[in-house]
A and B are shown apart, each in its own frame.
Chain A
């Protein structure tokens, strides 16, 4: 309780004194990501080698939800900031800022950018809001809505395929493709960021469950890696 109060106090103070770097550092040090308590388990549970698979949490990614008609004038204005808006299922666009824009629905997109270490609203949201202006649509900072799990390695796909019914074969999902689907009934955005790397965006409240679920799925690959006498 004390921590929450202090955290809240410092967040407010931090917002008031955005220029104060020491203050910001203190505020940022108090952040806890949804799966922070599993980080040791992730390290221990990760498997190296030919059939290896690594799990880690990428904390505090900036996420912005966009609802806009991509073909409208407002859509074009927002697209100029994000390197265009994706038009089809699976498409991902990347802007100059390095933020990836994932297609969720014909008029719904998710912008994902790395943690910028700022305690206040990110410059990304501010610029997107400016582009939206009074046009029809929404731009909302959703950074705390979801967390990011990164599952990588030669066996990453095999771990996911145990409980994700979407077709994850490379002929269907190439690197740089993102889909909205379910992993063991948990609604998840799945972004294949590289050939053997999947970024999973579950809602924060599912982070503990999905983290432990994936760890369970990774166990068999560790067992096969050990050499029996």
Chain B
């Protein structure tokens, strides 16, 4: 049995949760202009990742709130849990690494510490 950590309730049994598929599937900006094929792909086409996968879960037997989870589809290891609306940790890392070279030179090492902390999120 797996333990999942709900962002609201803390560690609970896997059976208290329900799966909600791939996370961060954005609603099309102008759905009216999509072709039938593009609309069908938005509705039904999902990644089938081997490895780290961001997905939605709901704590249906507890707080009944949705949240996101990054899970390794091979080992079932849960890498990160974050709330709906929050950025995916991988995205945060990308943003952090993109801004790092600009900040790294003017900042003293002590001031640069928050950047390294965010990488561990």
Contacts and interface: CB of A to CB of B under 8 A. Distances in A.
A and B associate in one complex: yes
Interface in A121-176: 165-167
B71 interface: no
B59 to A, nearest CB: 9
A7 interface: no
A187 interface: yes
A90 to B, nearest CB: 8
Contacts of A185: 15
A106 B8 contact: yes
How large, as a class, is the contact surface on chain B? 10 to 19
A183 to B, nearest CB: 11
A182 interface: yes
Given A165-B13, A182-B13, A182-B16, A89 B61 contact: no
Main secondary structure of the interface of A (DSSP, over half): strand
B117 interface: no
B80 interface: no
Interface residues of A, number: 14
A179 B11 CA distance: 12
Contacts of A187: 61
Interface in B8-40: 8-13, 15-16
A179 B10 CA distance: 10
A181 B61 CA distance: 6
